[in-house]
Chain A
Amino acid sequence: MNDTKPDALPRLVPLLDVRSICRTYDDGTVRALKDVSFSVFRGEYVAIMGPSGSGKSTLLNLLGALDHPCRGEICFEGQSLATLRDLDRFRARTIGFVFQSFHLLPTLTALENVQIPMFEGTLNRRARVQKAEELLCLVGLSHRLKHVPQKLSVGERQRVAIARALANDPLVLLADEPTGNLDSRAGAGVLDLFDQLHRERGVTLIVITHGAEVAARAERTIWIRDGQIDLLQMSGGVVTRCAV
């Protein structure tokens, strides 16, 4: 498969390349994903949208190297996930997760929560703390460093989660319904933060959602329905053609 762009940009290797993946459950009776293919390039802000039961969660798990496809392969910067032995390390280096339920460790402060992914890295303690502080400032929580999640508002908790996701300088930020548990104001704040990260730091974002207003903020949207890519949708820029 190949991509074509309307304006002739030089050919780049996609950051994330999904090729004809399938995922079935229950011994082949339930097909969650059928022959899905698409690419994401470095610096893109992509939304994956679809109703519940469409296979979004399955797709998220596969992209996040939490699960394996039954067929097809997923490549990051040209390297197929199937060839990797240590997926834990890979996830630590490559992917930053942002979950709908935040999943912060309740006994640790915001500063400590952000440092958790860094344990697998090479920074010493002082450098870790410093970097965590910087990230929290970046997301606007410099005044909340020593607070435990219980003492933070839901919006603030998600921001901590975002800072944590950036801790290891991942290749891609993978967000699963990031505003699902937030009220509209907090949700807007988080989406503004995504914009800021994308614009100012060139972070590659993949946001999975069922809300149109969330998807509207992205550069382009990939639609999923019944386990298959459904439509081409363009919102400002690049078109991806997918096999159906």
Chain B
Amino acid sequence: MLFLEVIAKNLMRRKTRTLLTIAGLAAAVATSTALLSSAWSFASSSRDYYSSRGVDVVVCRAGVSERITSSLSAALAGRLRALPDVAWAEGSLTEMVSLGERALIGIPMHGVDPSGPTADKLEVTSGRKLAAGDHRAVLLGSALAEGLKHRPGETLQIEGTAFHIAGVFQTADAIEANTIIAPLTDVQDLMGRPGQVSEFQIRAVPAANDTSISRLCREIESLHDASGRSLGFKALPMRKFVDSDTETRLTWAMAWGTSVVAVGLSLVAMLNTMLMSVLERTKEFGLLRAIGWTRGRVMRMVLGESLVIGLCASLGGAAGAGLFVRALGTWSYTRNFVQPTLSAEAVVLGIALTIFAGVAGSLYPAYRGATCVPLTALHFE
């Protein structure tokens, strides 16, 4: 018989209680894992969006909170292209639009140069790519096209204006597959933002490394106009840009906030369960100490029980998180931020948090059980 078997038998003795504790903890794990996964995949999806186009630096308006609504003058692209380390620089305008017929709102629409690198790298699977002279023609992401049941050649009402669907593009990222790509000038006209972009994407020269990219960012931020006033640029290496985005931060804040609450409640629940379990078994613990088990071994036994509970809860919770994330992926308010699949890192993090909560919550009960005086425990009535 192994030590592990003793632990398992102790747990199975009170099946109902063990199962209930596992269920409660699993609920907590499922929620935090789902939210952590959403935050993780949101950030990684944003990063993929840029890295698939080979973007090294992103330039936006300094000091703003909502980058999407901030504005920069499109003409400034020339100043950026003139910098020595820049291979190409492209401005894009991203807006949240509403689609007329189905009254869908909050769909991201990216306005780009039809002959620029972004439009060029799109994998268009039906219809055609955008061309230089296009007017009121758009490309739909594959998921969006499917959801709207639209095909190339049809018309789509965007913000009350009719657009022609030129083609449908394919992408691995579920979030990006729900976006619209259009010529920059069309988006500027549609949303009343003439001559504006919300950010510039820059690709550095092939010889660039991390140091030269940081230098480039500082150079960009120090650019000023003829009268000496700063152009108000904020330039960040692509990863940092994504990680410091307000939406990214918000999703992380919500995920961690929830996880903290979940861990706290799990700890209390585990403390409760284990303490009662230990108090019930005072005589047994007294006996074990009397026949020679060390305090350490008794503690290891109690901690082992909580570890097993934590592991079972993690597995159940991970499964629950998968379902939860799928639900978030269909709810209209979160669909644009959430991938419907779990990220592996979040699952690992969720398991780690649960085990931490479980073991931390059983430290005191384990100590109580182990340090009982055999004498009094045996005669305990």
Establish whether A and B are touching in the complex (CB under 8 Å): yes
Within 11-38 of A, Cβ neighbours of B (below 8 Å) are at none
Write out the residue numbers on chain A whose beta carbons fall within 8 Å of the beta carbon of B12: 107
- Contacts A92-B291, A92-B293, A120-B297 known; A125 to B2 CB distance under 8 Å? yes
Out of A66, A111, A125, A128, name the residue touching B374 (CB < 8 Å): A66
Type the 1/0 row for B1-33, where 1 means its CB is closer than 8 Å to any CB of A.
111011001101100000000000000000000
CB of A155, distance to nearest CB on chain B (Å): 20
Query: Which B residue sits closest to A105, measured CB to CB?
Result: B284
CB pair A89 B1 closer than 8 Å = no
Q: Is the CB of B294 within 8 A of A106?
A: no
Residues of B within 8 A of A105 (CB): 284, 287
Q: State in angstroms the CA–CA spacing of A237 and B295 once bound together.
A: 42
By beta carbon, the residue of chain B nearest A90 is B292
Partner of B375, one of A61, A106, A165: A61
Residue tally, chain B, CB below 8 Å to A: 24
- List of 4 A-B pairs having minimum Cβ-Cβ separation, nearest first: A92-B292, A107-B9, A103-B287, A91-B292
Give bound CA distance, A108 to B294, whole Å. 20
Q: Among the listed B10, B289, B297, which residue makes an inter-chain contact with A107, where contact means beta carbons less than 8 Å apart?
A: B10
B1 near A115 with CB under 8 A, answer yes
Asked if A120 meets B294 with Cβ closer than 8 Å, knowing A67-B375, A107-B10, the reply is yes
- Whether B293 lies near A119 (C-beta < 8 A) is yes
Query: What A residues does B13 contact at CB under 8 A?
Result: 106-107
| 20 A-B pairs with C-beta separation under 8 A | A66-B290, A66-B374, A88-B293, A90-B292, A91-B291, A92-B292, A93-B292, A96-B291, A97-B290, A97-B291, A99-B378, A103-B283, A103-B378, A115-B1, A116-B288, A117-B291, A119-B297, A120-B292, A120-B293, A125-B1
Beta-carbon contact of A108 and B375 below 8 Å:
no
The A interface is mostly helix, strand or loop, or mixed, namely: helix
B287 engages A88 (CB within 8 Å): no
A112 at the interface (CB under 8 A from B): yes
Q: Which residues 176-208 of A sit at the B interface, judged by CB distance below 8 A?
A: none
How many cross-chain pairs have Cβ atoms below 8 Å apart between A and B?
67
Q: How far is the CA of A117 from the CA of B378 in the complex (A)?
A: 16
Residues of chain B in range 245-287 having any CB-CB distance to chain A below 8 Å: 283-284, 287
Residues of A within 8 A of B288 (CB): 116
* Chain B: minimal CB distance from A175 (Å): 13
Apart from A97-B291, A103-B378, A117-B293: 7 A-B pairs, beta carbons within 8 A = A66-B374, A66-B375, A91-B291, A92-B293, A107-B10, A111-B1, A120-B297
Contacts of A117 in B (CB 8 A): 291-293
Query: Which A residues touch B289, using CB under 8 A?
Result: 88
Distance, CA A90 to CA B293, complexed state (A): 10
Complex-state Cα separation, A105 to B287, whole angstroms: 9
Out of A88, A107, A115, A128, name the residue touching B294 (CB < 8 Å): A88
Q: How far is the CA of A92 from the CA of B298 in the complex (A)?
A: 14
Partner of A168, one of B3, B292, B374: B292
Q: Does B291 lie within 8 Å of A164, measured CB to CB?
A: yes
Interface residue A154 (Cβ < 8 Å from any Cβ of B): no
| A75 is an interface residue with CB less than 8 A from chain B | no
Task: Determine the residue in chain A with the shortest Cβ distance to B379.
Answer: A57
The distance in angstroms between the C-alpha atoms of A25 and B374, with both chains bound, is 17
Which chain A residues in 79-96 approach chain B with CB under 8 Å?
Answer: 86, 88-93, 96
- CB pair B9–A91 under 8 Å, yes or no, is no
Chain B residues, CB < 8 A from A119: 3, 293, 297
Residues on B with beta carbons closer than 8 Å to the beta carbon of A103: 283-284, 287, 378
Bound together, the chains give a CA A117 to CA B284 distance in angstroms of 13
CB closest chain-B residue, reference A120:
B292
- Chain A, residue nearest B2 (CB): A125
* Chain B min CB distance to A7 (Å): 37
Measured between beta carbons, the chain B residues less than 8 angstroms from A107 are 9-10, 12-13
C-alpha spacing A124/B6, complex, angstroms: 16
Whether B283 contacts A88 by the Cβ 8 Å rule is no
A53 to B354, CA, bound (A): 51
Neighbouring B residues of A99 by C-beta, 8 Å: 287, 378
Interface set, chain A 134-166, CB cutoff 8 A to B: 164-165
CA distance A97 to B287 in the complex (A): 9
Chain A residues with Cβ below 8 Å from B374 are: 66
Cross-chain contact B287 with A89 (CB below 8 angstroms): no
Q: Tell me the smallest distance from the CB of A53 to a CB of chain B, in Å.
A: 15
A162 to chain B, nearest CB (A): 13
